[in-house]
Amino acid sequence: MLKLKTEKSRAYKMKKRVVTVVIIILLSISIVYTCRHVGINKSDSLYFKVYWHEPITEIKKGYYYLIEYHGNGYSGLINKKAVCMPGENVERIYDMFFCEDVPIGKIQFTHDESGNEYPQYDGGKLTGSVFVIGDALNSYDSRYFGPLPVTSFRREVTPLW
């Protein structure tokens, strides 16, 4: 009787170990997967700081993207919202921007901290490019550097926090 109880106890302990190992492996996989898809926004141009990113299936107006940008002394990924799409017209009237007659942004500043004049986009029909902006008024975006090529869009972003 004691031998049978000991064998059941060993089998139970072995089963418990196997379940624990399986849980640890699944948790490790999910942590690695999550870490590869969660990003931290260090810029003040967007209101959210933590985001989930994944491959782009289609670039859509109103969605956020990680975009490769090279210009004005910066080279790397920027996080912006697509507000005017290829084939649409961006019009600038004084310091206001419109996409197909819908207001999308306003020039907020003309010079940087050193007194250097910022470039300013004048508008036009978008061909193979997207007009992007940040959420904050002081965002450096397409209002200044113009639309960005569709080919520079890298990942779709969903704000988390």
Tens-digit pLDDT profile for residues 64-109: 999 999 987 889 999 999 999 999 999 999 999 999 999 999 998 8
- How many helices (H) and strands (E) in the chain? 2, 11
> Which token pair is 155?
């990942």
- d(C-alpha 22, C-alpha 20), whole Å: 5
CATH 2.10.109.10 fits 41-159, yes or no: yes
Calpha distance 89→72 (Å, rounded): 25
Find all residues with CB under 8 Å of 152, minimum gap 6, and list them.
Answer: 67, 68, 69
Question: Residue 111 has what pLDDT?
Answer: 87
Residue 21 to residue 6: CA distance in whole angstroms: 22
What are 117's two structure tokens?
């004049």
Positions in the chain whose pLDDT score sits under 70: 1-8, 28, 30-35
Residue type for position 43: S
